[in-house]
Amino acid sequence: MAEKQKTHRQPKLSRPTTIRDIAAHTGVAVMTVSRVINESGYVSQEMREKVLKAVQELNYHPNGLARGLKRRRTQAIGILVPDIANPFAAELVGGIQEVLSARGYSSFISTSDRSTTREEAGLRALFDHRADGAIVATRETKAGNDFLLGLLNYDLQIVVVGRELNHPRVDRVTADHFKGGYDVTEHLIKMGHRRIAFVGVSAPNGAGLHRYRGYVEALRANGIPFDEKLVVGPKVDAGPGFSTQDDGYEGAKRILSAKSRPTAIFARNDFTAMGAMYAIRDAGLAIPDDIAVAGFDNVPLSAYTAPPLTTVAQRTVLQGREAALLLLDRIDGNRQRERRNICLDCELIVRQSTIKDIARTD
């Protein structure tokens, strides 16, 4: 039976098979089919097999819209990242999807691209399509926070990564950026530096940037006076939100032409650091002999710069996994439990960009 292969050539745009097609094809009730595909309730072995066979043959896949509408669950979650061209986002997403897909959830990524409007549009779309939850790793903004809090009045679970959102039902995962910033600064101090610049945020905007606060604190703890002139933000200061290689180049350039220049630069992230390194070479100075450079994030490329870049690794994949687990726990399990906060250690990765006494091929 079922010589379906007789179709003349390409079937011209079939409508997707529905549960009723399966029911009709097997002669059982729609409900029985539903029970089979959901493995819920009792179905005799015989019927089950018949149904499964038809599901195969007719290539049936449940319509997620109908299912979601009825169940009030879509088994889909949204991931909101600031920016896609970013190893951090990639690893985070990797960790998240690893956990989610194992549990039968699909996930969709949305970017904010540094725009609150875009971020809201992304969240709105997620919400309107009734995602069961969202993992939000965008930078904090007032508008963004308000919007997220608004969504929380409804049945959307949220976990934030690397940022805050003050709400009793929002879990949080982050790396200890403060400690990372502290450690890398202290490393520079141990290497004998006392004029250490921070490139990537302006001092007034730094409060929300933990790695910067770690820098400030490390200076203080080591008795080095804080010098605001050694802190440079991007030309167009996007608040605590962002910093690129261009910003690093431009910021370092400014700081190098200042009266008394630093002997070390701690850049907000590895890309900023790479821009700064370029500015340093541009000025005819050597790294690390004239100026040491450190970054943050340990992006894969940081091992390949000239010289390789000292940086701070955060366990990004793990953050993704943890965030996904927290989210699933709330969705599938206890929606009312107390908020949880996971903070992972960072690791200082010392490379040649801050070490003078290692022989360099250069």
Partner DNA sequence: TTGAAAGCGCTAACAC
Partner DNA sequence: GTGTTAGCGCTTTCAA
Q: Which residues bind a copy of itself (CB under 8 A)?
A: 10-11, 13-16, 59, 61-66, 68-69, 74, 76, 78, 83-87, 89-91, 93-94, 97, 101, 106, 108-111, 113, 118, 121-122, 124-125, 127-130, 150, 153-155, 244-246, 249, 271, 274-275, 277-278, 281-282, 284, 300-301, 304-306, 361-362
Residue with the two structure tokens 């220049």: 261
Q: Which is nearer to DNA, 43 or 309 (CB)?
A: 43
**Angle, helices 87-102/316-332, rounded to nearest 10 degrees:** 40
Q: Which is nearer to DNA, 36 or 346 (CB)?
A: 36
219 binds DNA (CB under 7 A): no
- Using only the alpha carbons of the chain, give its radius of gyration: 27
**Coil, strand, or helix at residue 213?**
helix
Distances (CA, A) of 109 to 64, 83, 119, 150: 18, 10, 12, 21
- Name the DSSP letter for residue 192: T
**Coil, strand, or helix at residue 196?**
strand
41 binds DNA (CB under 7 A): yes
124 binds DNA (CB under 7 A): no
Residue type at 211 in one-letter notation: R
Q: Which is nearer to a copy of itself, 185 or 314 (CB)?
A: 314
Q: Least distance (Å) from DNA to the CB of residue 262? A: 58
Q: Which is nearer to a copy of itself, 192 or 300 (CB)?
A: 300
Query: How many Å separate Cα 175 from the centre of its chain?
Result: 12
Q: Are 118 and 142 in contact (CB under 8 A)?
A: no
131 binds DNA (CB under 7 A): no
Which residues of this chain interact with DNA, rule CB under 7 A? 15-16, 18-20, 28-32, 34-35, 37-38, 40-44, 46-47, 60, 62-63, 66-67, 69-71
